[in-house]
Copies of this chain bind each other. A is one copy, B any other.
């Protein structure tokens, strides 16, 4: 038993045939006689050659069967977020089924160069904190697809965020009301804060832009109003970041009648804060979420929200990437009318 791994050449030498023939035995059975092929495969088995070296194949073939999933946030964060981890589920189930491997990538725009040379394609999930990464990605000549945000020139998988936001807001808002918005990633700031300027020229992700547009349209149409310091920026869909915004919005005077939240996590945190302050939901405060996570249906009152299937998104993204078509997809959504709007 030797220490160094066997190569194609070793097998060829052993059998007295050319390396091309051995290679063909593994890759193109039609290029050699059945007898030869079996002889070769048997010999390989005997001497313990398990097949062509993959590193060499990657270089030569320019294909690795590895798909990189580019995550907006760190892996630790992503894995613990119910929406994101469900998305990963969807992606990986399709990849597994097609014999592809999944590389989780959460680095910056610089180190994307570490993987671009050997990865077969990219699924870019959520707007990267570092927008440069997106640009870098679009420059690369590799299949790529974005989910939950857009990069010019790349196909994407999405729901109609503007319409969804519009519709959920319409369900919640009544004429004459005051409305607040707990937004996600509206500006570059790494901490929760109010937004005073309008228009929000800094807005990071097209998805939040669209939701905001939908909310605004609904507010206007419903004859409700929003003050321009009643929009919060929350840097990621995290309970702690949300808690701070919740505190601020609930202690503002006057208090809004309705708060539109750009994720369920945010909405649930707001709900919990409100209840613990003795504020009656929905009588004194109506709340809408976004995503439709399971937990949002288990709370009392349960959440009014936009349900979208993260798993399906993942599946669609992976399938689109692997098919050579690479077209954009708009997925459906559902409105879930929970008790945080009407009891």
Which residues on A are within 8 Å of B, measured CB to CB? 3, 5, 50-51, 53-56, 58-59, 62, 64-66, 74-76, 79-80, 85-86, 88-89, 92-93, 96, 99, 101-107, 111, 113-118, 141
Q: Which of B56, B76, B99, B107 contacts A59 (CB 8 A)?
A: B56
**Is the Cβ of B79 less than 8 Å from the Cβ of A89?**
yes
**Is the Cβ of A66 less than 8 Å from the Cβ of B117?**
no
**Is the Cβ of B118 less than 8 Å from the Cβ of A55?**
yes
**In the complex, residue of chain B having the shortest beta-carbon distance to the beta carbon of A106:** B96
**In the complex, residue of chain B having the shortest beta-carbon distance to the beta carbon of A88:** B79
Residues of B within 8 A of A111 (CB): 99
How far is B53's CA from A55's CA once the two chains are assembled, in angstroms? 13
Residues of B within 8 A of A113 (CB): 50-51, 54
**Is the Cβ of A59 less than 8 Å from the Cβ of B55?**
yes
Residues of B within 8 A of A105 (CB): 101
**Is the Cβ of A88 less than 8 Å from the Cβ of B75?**
yes
**Is the Cβ of B58 less than 8 Å from the Cβ of A118?**
yes
Residues of B within 8 A of A66 (CB): 103
Chain B nearest CB from A210 CB (Å) reads 27
**In the complex, residue of chain B having the shortest beta-carbon distance to the beta carbon of A107:** B96
How far is B55's CA from A62's CA once the two chains are assembled, in angstroms? 8
Chain B nearest CB from A80 CB (Å) reads 6
Q: Which of B5, B65, B102 contacts A75 (CB 8 A)?
A: B102
**In the complex, residue of chain B having the shortest beta-carbon distance to the beta carbon of A75:** B92
Residues of B within 8 A of A107 (CB): 96, 101
Given contacts A3-B141, A102-B104, 9 further A-B contacts (CB under 8 A): A5-B141, A54-B118, A56-B117, A74-B93, A79-B89, A80-B86, A80-B89, A96-B107, A101-B114
Chain B nearest CB from A129 CB (Å) reads 14
**Assuming A76-B89, A80-B89, is B103 touching A102 (CB within 8 A)?**
yes
Residues of B within 8 A of A53 (CB): 117
Residues of B within 8 A of A106 (CB): 92, 96
How far is B103's CA from A76's CA once the two chains are assembled, in angstroms? 14
Chain B nearest CB from A340 CB (Å) reads 22
How far is B57's CA from A12's CA once the two chains are assembled, in angstroms? 25
